[in-house]
Amino acid sequence: MTTIFGAIADDFTGATDLAGLLARSGVRVSLRMGVPDQPAKDPAAFEVIALKSRTAPVAEAVAETRKALAWLQNAGARRFFWKYCSTFDSTAEGNIGPVAEALMADLGVDQTIYCPAFPENGRSIFMGNLFVGQQPLAESPMKDHPLTPMQDSNLMRLLRPQVTKPVGLADRLTVARGAAALRAALDDHKRQGTAHVVVDAVANSDLEIIAEACRDMVLMTGGSAVAMPLPALYLADGTLSADAPKAQTPKLGTGGIVLSGSCSSMTNKQVADYLARGTAAYQLDPLQLAEQGIQPVLDWLKSQDLNAFPMIYATASPASVKAAQAKLGVATAGEMIENVLATCALTAREMGARRFIAAGGETSGAITKALDVAQLDIGAEIAPGVPWCFATSDRKQIALTLKSGNFGTETFFADALRILEAS
């Protein structure tokens, strides 16, 4: 199978989010954790490469993304997608804009779109302003994000400092007139030299129009949802063969664990729901870890019945997070939690765990690295943009779900276990 569509995501949960939506088509989707060292031996029609570059230095993020692009081109891909968070997580320096311009340069294209909308998860764009539910981005819980606090809701203003070429808008009124009108608007922007075009979307029907209008673009950028209609479009025009290989669910052993490092508003609710079910749980305290180390956590874990799916979590309120960061430093506190949760994942695997629920982008990256997972095949979707994934770790078949902080409903952890058993 030759790859027809190659995507690059700036974190691991974002990559599974995208892969899960593409997998709704029923076609096999392969997710690579980092850029593979070797060419693909069995490439899928849809290949997604997960990087850990969202908060990396700009030069490092650009270099890794260009390396991923080269790998995807070698696998046969001719259409590409740069995936970032549906809340446009970034700083004034990047990394969304600089990476997009680097990809444009390597691909020889002079225009791309930006559409982080994900209506199913409450992310919409109107007149260039991003909303989280009914709140403007800058008034949502994202304003308190520990690494990328989002304090402006206007995507054009956020993007302009990150790029060197003009930024424009294709608004909802244009999108509502259909794919032909949107293509005409993009062509008009191109004639005026506008390289970066933010596109409004408030409903799934808008995403279908955008995908139809931009399906032949060599490079699209956005959240995962705008790529969701592409498989059906590719099947309809013959770009994707109707007999392309389908997804398969492997047999798994028993036992598992929930590992939560996200401190998002929704993950706090999900942790509370799981605790209310009487689940055995251990809360990580960065200050206590700094004093006592990891051994008390591991001792607790080794005493647990993994068939009851215990939880280890660092999820806490924004005030608690800031207090720990003030004493330990932002980077130190974050890395400490990631390292502890990664070690717990490895310990749980050695204890027999074959199901892993990870909440938080940085947490998911650390856990997949610890488990030495290089490739994932995408399975059943738990919530919009959050699928179960299957991989091999230490020659054992495991299932992983990598949840972005604000995704899923309050019952996500329990739902995940139920859906996996039913698949």
Q: Are residues 73 and 189 in the same domain?
A: yes
Residues 230 and 322 in one domain: no
Partners of 170 in the beta sheet?
A: 199
Is the confidence at residue 245, as pLDDT, over 80? no
Report the candidate in 75, 81, 73, 68 with the shortest Cα–Cα distance to residue 1: 75
Query: What does pLDDT average to over the chain?
Result: 93
Q: Which two tokens stand for residue 31?
A: 């997710």
CATH of the domain at 146: 3.40.50.10840
Comparing CA positions, the residue from 36, 32, 26, 39 lying closest to residue 12 is 32
Query: 146 and 292 in one domain?
Result: no
What does the chain come to in residues? Answer: 423
Q: What domain range is 269 assigned to? A: 256-422
Q: What is the pLDDT of residues 103-124, one digit of tens each?
A: 999 999 999 999 999 998 899 9
Type and span of the H or E element at 175: helix 172-176
The Cα 332–Cα 67 span in angstroms is 28
- Tens of pLDDT, residues 44-53: 999 999 998 9
Report d(CA 383, CA 415) in Å as an integer.
9
Segment 175-189 mean pLDDT: 98
Question: Which neighbouring-strand residues pair with 114?
Answer: 198, 221
Does the structure show a pLDDT above 70 at 1? no
How far apart are alpha carbons 273 and 133 in whole angstroms? 21
119 and 24, same structural domain? yes
What's the structural domain count of the chain?
2
**What's the rounded mean pLDDT across residues 333-357?**
94
pTM of the model: 0.79
225/262 same-domain check: no
Specify whether 164 is located in the same domain as 268. no
Average pLDDT rounded to a whole number, residues 72-91: 95
Task: Judge whether 350 lies within some domain.
Answer: yes
Domain membership flag for residue 195: yes
Kindly report the CATH number assigned to the domain that includes residue 356: 3.40.980.20
Q: Which one, of 364, 371, 313, 303, lies nearest residue 343 by Cα?
A: 371
Contact assessment for residue 8 and residue 65, using Cβ atoms and an 8 Å cutoff:
yes
pLDDT digits (tens, 9 = 90+) for 386-415: 899 999 999 999 999 999 888 899 999 999
pLDDT above 90 (res 147): no
Whole-angstrom distance, CA of residue 219 vs CA of residue 66? 13
Q: Which tokens hold the place of 327?
A: 């004493």
Q: Which residue has the higher pLDDT, 365 or 192?
A: 192
pLDDT of residue 244: 67
Phi, psi of 222, rounded to the nearest 5 degrees: 160, -170
307 and 269 assigned to the same domain: yes
Confidence of residue 362 (pLDDT cuts 50, 70, 90): confident
State the Cα–Cα distance between residues 252 and 355, nearest whole angstrom: 8
- Domain shared by 343 and 377, yes or no: yes
> Is 119 part of any domain?
yes
Q: Are residues 331 and 385 in the same domain?
A: yes
Cα end-to-end span (Å), the chain: 25
Whether residues 233 and 260 fall in one domain: no
What does the DSSP assignment read for 122-140? TEEEETTEEEETTEEGGGS
Residue 248 falls inside a structural domain: no
| DSSP per-residue letters across 234-293 | HHHHTSS-TTPPBP-PPP--S-EEEEE----HHHHHHHHHHHHTT--EEE--HHHHHHH-
> Do 233 and 271 fall into the same domain?
no
pLDDT value of residue 241: 81
Domain assignment of residue 219, yes or no: yes
- The first and second tokens of residue 89, run together, are 């997580």
Does the pLDDT at position 378 exceed 70?
A: yes
Please, which pLDDT band fits residue 187 given cuts at 50, 70 and 90? very high
Residues 343 and 316 in one domain: yes
In this prediction, residue 278 carries a pLDDT of 96
- When pLDDT is averaged across residues 265-286 and rounded to a whole number, the result is 95
What's the whole-number mean pLDDT along residues 187-198? 98
In this structure, what token pair is assigned to residue 323? Answer: 């207090």
CA distances to 145, 257, 343 from 369, in Å: 24, 17, 10
Cβ atoms of residues 286 and 235 within 8 Å:
no
